[in-house]
Amino acid sequence: MTENTSKHTILWVDDEIHLLRPHIIFLEEKGYEVKTATNGVDALEIIRHEYISAALLDEMMDGLDGLAVLEKIRELRPGMPVVMITKNEEESLMEDAIGKEISDYLTKPINPSQVLLSLKKTLDSADIAREMRAREFMDFYQATSAALYGGITSLKTWTAIHERLAYWQIEFSRNIQYDLEHFLAELLESANREFQRLVADSYTAWVRQSPDIPMSPYVMDTYVAPLLRANKKTLFVLIDCLRYDHWMAIAPLFYQQFDTELRSHLSILPTATPYSRNAIFAGMYPDAINVRYPDLYANPDSEESMNRYEAQLITDYLKKENLHLRNGHSFHKVSDSKYGDTLANRFSDIRNNDLIVLVANFVDILAHKRSVSDILLEIVPDEAGYRNVVRNWMENSYLRRVIELAGDAGFHVVITSDHGSLRVNRGSVVKADRDSTDSLRYKTGRNLVVQSKTAVYTKDAAAFRLPQTQLATTYIFARDDYFFLYPNNMKKYEKIYPGTFQHGGISMDEMILPVAMLSPKR
């Protein structure tokens, strides 16, 4: 075992402390400072006036016994670790000690290594675990950096990298003592840069022949239709703007009730609801949707109007795939908690459906409202704050109730998103005509001019499987952490949008999305 270099001060309380001198010398050789007391009164006096890292407390002593001393210690130093040492193996005594929140319980006779292990577990386990996690991260950092340098073309591999990056973001936000955040930020930047390069080079090939994870039009085919064909009742939940790290934060809420499997899909471009969500529900790319609904993309600056056929798209998809559901399906779009609570309270009205499709807009609304609310900026200062709010919302939301009610009713649950979001920081000026869209991470119009380093630009909408209309002949998608600005009022908006969460462009957070498959535990 490694020596204790932090010089923890231990108080050992035992009325036969002279017999423990070899144990004390052993601990001192391992780097611990050991103070001693032969009774509870003296021990409490030491604790009142000195900082003690932990106490080794004999249970059977004259005067105040161990449990009485423990109770006094809890009054003086509520958080101080205490290891109880006793000859008594009675279960009731152990329960009393555990009830008073002891850190460990040792039964005499004890040996020095046994005591050392208990102290390390009590005092040093967090530091030891942190050191091991730091080494694990640096191994990941080096392996991923090498893989990025060699070039990665598999989207399954990119998904695995994205998931691990999300994992380390969560880990570091929970424990600020790693001091490795700059390495993680560097790796995130490098990974996003290489991912964007791959998307720019490969996207038009992917939409002609699907890559090794499904893209938006194949989400229903891959994850929902097989459940329906197997006659499994299915709840399909689409949480607008849910990112990979968001799901990883909320997933533990469902572990008790469901067996969970995490899969993925790739959002199409632009990573925006009118395109990616319509593609999911229709099982088609936007150019094909536009043929069936020629008025849908007529006004490309109206997100609400471009999503007005969602329920019909799902009905048409089920017909196209010959999925004749005996008990039908229902579609529900929830944009406020009042309607969500009503849906949860009346779940019995829809529990007989073979398919329930539910769109939850809270995460997307949070991202948009945050940019215009000083209070939300305080609550959601960064990615960690965003994750925490999403988790807190889910923990107490109508959506959790609906998912749990569905599980109780034997439903299989599929949870995904139409796109993620990215925190933007830098503005990029776009020259355009007045009919161009106002979106910050993508734009469409007839005449768009933008710096090539800040965006992917195309005049060939057909190559991207996007609708070409009278108002939409060219598309641009933001790279890196850029957001688009028009020259008029540029200075004003340059101050408003840095630090806000936006979507529509090219990044791992916007494009690589979780698909959680939840099966009720038997």
| DSSP per position, 109-163 | S--HHHHHHHHIIIIIHHHHHHHHHHHHHHHHHHHHHHHHHH----HHHHHHHHH
For residue 79, give every residue at least 6 positions away whose Cβ sits within 8 Å of its Cβ, in sequence order, or none: none
Query: What single-letter DSSP state applies at residue 217?
Result: G
What residue ranges of the chain are covered by domains with CATH 3.40.720.10? 216-522
Residue 504, by phi and psi: left (phi above 0), alpha (psi -120 to 50) or beta? Answer: left
User: Which neighbouring-strand residues pair with 484?
Assistant: 428
pLDDT at res. 215: 98
Is residue 480 within 8 A of residue 426, CB to CB? The reply is: yes
User: How far, in Å, CA of 464 to CA of 459, rounded?
Assistant: 10
Region 216-522: CATH code: 3.40.720.10
Angle between helices 398-408 and 337-345 (to 10 degrees): 20
User: How far, in Å, CA of 237 to CA of 333, rounded?
Assistant: 10
Is residue 268 within 8 A of residue 275, CB to CB? The reply is: yes
Region 9-110: CATH code: 3.40.50.2300
What residue ranges of the chain are covered by domains with CATH 3.40.50.2300? 9-110
Is residue 224 within 8 A of residue 178, CB to CB? The reply is: no
| Residue 516 CB neighbours (<10 A) | 23
Closest C-alpha among 127, 84, 129 to residue 103: 84
pLDDT at res. 318: 97
Place of tokens 């109508």: 398
Q: Residue 61 to residues 15, 40, 54: CA-CA distances in angstroms?
A: 6, 8, 19
Residues of the chain with pLDDT under 50: 1-5
Exposed/middle/buried for residue 237 (C-beta within 10 Å: 0-12, 13-18, 19+) = buried
pLDDT at res. 359: 97
Q: Which secondary structure element, helix H or strand E, spans residue 505, and what is its range? A: none
For residue 245, give every residue at least 6 positions away whose Cβ sits within 8 Å of its Cβ, in sequence order, or none: 166, 169, 170, 383, 387, 509
Is residue 411 within 8 A of residue 356, CB to CB? The reply is: yes
User: How far, in Å, CA of 266 to CA of 272, rounded?
Assistant: 13
pLDDT at res. 1: 38
Is residue 154 within 8 A of residue 212, CB to CB? The reply is: yes
pLDDT at res. 302: 60
